[in-house]
Structure 1
């Protein structure tokens, strides 16, 4: 449940606990590394979810149930957490199976069991069933997946459109991709923080954006990514959330560029006088292996000057040094400073 929705249901004296996102990410990396002991084909889907290709491992490890128990055992021994495992002939079935016996569950759906597994489920189990689609299906008398599977495809297409109807029908018949993507590129990198008290102090907000810019920039450089689109996220005291975006003329992974552009977006947002509950910064729209942009506010001394100027060379070395120190001594070992000028 989004915090904005939860806040409407909770009493005024509810206590909001700051999440430990860096810790969650570190534990997630431990889990993903541990799962590679089972299969080299591991696709991380989120901070707490992954797909494994375990085809062909029966002779090495044992039947699917044994593979699932081993995955749960490895996670428990590595980080002390329970996990739910689902095994099926494709990603869709495996995902549903993992949700079937939560928490700490294990569910195996063999190919010949797929339809019996799906049919009794409500239509809400299908992906793509949103607040508009569900009522439309129920008006057609479709309450369970078996109802969708047995309905006339032409009726479904007229009601939902060809594309969505095909997606839902494929799921109702248990069809889905079985491909595990080993090197999927993330769509964006973002960092945000929720304040214990609403903040109006501009200096504190600037410091927070600088911290977020450094975290995003460090991650982008580590993954070899440079982005063109900077996103600012602001949540106010009433939990209303706003985003502002800016597309840059060239891709960047430069902390200073990220900070200055995010701060400019904040100043131009029309929200600068409002108390802030959450502040975040994101980078997306990748161009991999792009030449370094450097600082947007650096002006070349000559029109023919190459993009990689001596000053930008120095900036590249600077960030390499900062990243090296942070990797060795921790993320808070060294940070960029703020100029007084706004």
Structure 2
């Protein structure tokens, strides 16, 4: 569920005109927690948190837990402090993916114009489905009934003329509701919201705007554009000003291009042992490379994230001389990047590996070096890792692990400090 700001809305004069409102935003309600409650109906009505151990974060919480201030991305320590009576359930990613696939398949039967933005939410453009299935609100109601009947969970749907307003509408419809914002009511709807509700307005941007006396979307819309651009920059200022007036021409994008693929781990206790950290980096690199191969992608950049015990987060990045989907190459670069991070004598709390600057493997342009031409190890390593993929597909992701690798990487490129 979105935790975006809401407002008390006066909707009595909005009407029910669906003309031009072909965009639906479907958002599953407390998705992970809802899936767990289907399997454990005895927990219904009780505060339930889905999350990791004491050092993990909250992945989802029932509305009973949210009443105590628990929300996604909160640390488990803080969540337990706020709601000590909550039942904590470890996550079951395979179960969530299975339900997600089924729900998205149902969405795909409505229209081919589907943009899945996460495991539990998607945009639909139903302009071409109206003659066959009826008005957008009828389509939304039918989808909500089907999800409830087939999976025992609920979803909320926003119906509007743009993606921005549809997403905000689904947030206001939660839980288990539907909200239509007629095209003519888009601007009045937006003006009633705090400025933090708009896409792209994070905590820092909100603080900057507050410094200029702007706290609501109405104040942003009425402000001088030149002043907004002075505060936020020319492009960002113009974009947010357009959003405040409901101008959002972005279409539903059927194919979302992965911008990066990453994985990270929070240790059960802070680690001084560099060997333990390197072992985790190897597993994370293996996971990233497996996902690259699964999606037919290669990466030109490897980035690592290291968080120390004082919660300071450092990232380092390196661009490779050739794109890769080989775990050994990702790991060797990531290991060197982690080794180069100045920890200030502090232990490591979290480490992450991310593959960036992605391209389709089939179309990636690779300029081989002389070393590549005479060294066939990379090809052999890739074949070996592809064999591991088959074993994992058959017996599970944890059935086999990549072994340790050589002492150093052969990639080129300068390290770039990102934060």
TM-score (norm 2): 0.68
Match of 1:250 among 295, 313, 322: 322
**220 and 38 in structure 1: CA distance in 2 versus 1, 3 angstrom threshold:** same
1:251–1:293 Cα contact (<8 Å) kept: no
1:227–1:284 Cα contact (<8 Å) kept: yes
**304 and 257 in structure 1: CA distance in 2 versus 1, 3 angstrom threshold:** closer
The aligned residue for residue 170 of structure 1 is 242
**Aligned equivalents of 2:371, 2:271: Cα separation in 1:** 45
Long gaps (5+) in structure 2: 4-55, 58-72, 409-419
The aligned residue for residue 198 of structure 2 is 126
Alpha-carbon displacement from aligned partner over 1:237-280 (angstroms, at most 9, x marks no partner) = 22222212122111111011111111111222123953222121
**Aligned equivalents of 1:188, 1:247: Cα separation in 2:** 14
SS at match of 1:326: helix
Question: Which of 318-327 and 90-99 deviates more?
Answer: 318-327
The aligned residue for residue 338 of structure 1 is 404
1:18–1:194 Cα contact (<8 Å) kept: no
Alpha-carbon displacement from aligned partner over 1:122-151 (angstroms, at most 9, x marks no partner) = 233233445565466556665543344445
Report how far residue 63 of structure 1 moved. 2.1
The aligned residue for residue 100 of structure 1 is 172
Report how far residue 152 of structure 1 moved. 5.0
The aligned residue for residue 314 of structure 1 is 380
Residues 152-191 of structure 1: pairs in structure 2 closer than 5 A: 152-153=224-225, 156=228, 162-191=234-263
Long gaps (5+) in structure 1: 295-299
SS at match of 1:93: helix
**Aligned equivalents of 1:35, 1:73: Cα separation in 2:** 12
**Aligned equivalents of 2:241, 2:108: Cα separation in 1:** 34
Q: What RMSD in Å do the two structures reach over aligned CA positions?
A: 3.7
Question: Which of 245-254 and 58-67 deviates more?
Answer: 58-67
TM-score (norm 1): 0.81
**Aligned equivalents of 2:344, 2:333: Cα separation in 1:** 15
**Aligned equivalents of 1:11, 1:287: Cα separation in 2:** 39
SS at match of 2:360: coil
Match of 2:276 among 194, 200, 204: 204
**Aligned equivalents of 1:253, 1:136: Cα separation in 2:** 41
Please tell me whether residue 214 in structure 1 is matched to residue 281 in structure 2. no
- Matched length: 334
**26 and 216 in structure 1: CA distance in 2 versus 1, 3 angstrom threshold:** farther
Question: Which of 99-108 and 163-172 deviates more?
Answer: 163-172
The aligned residue for residue 186 of structure 2 is 114
**292 and 202 in structure 1: CA distance in 2 versus 1, 3 angstrom threshold:** farther
2:302–2:354 Cα contact (<8 Å) kept: yes
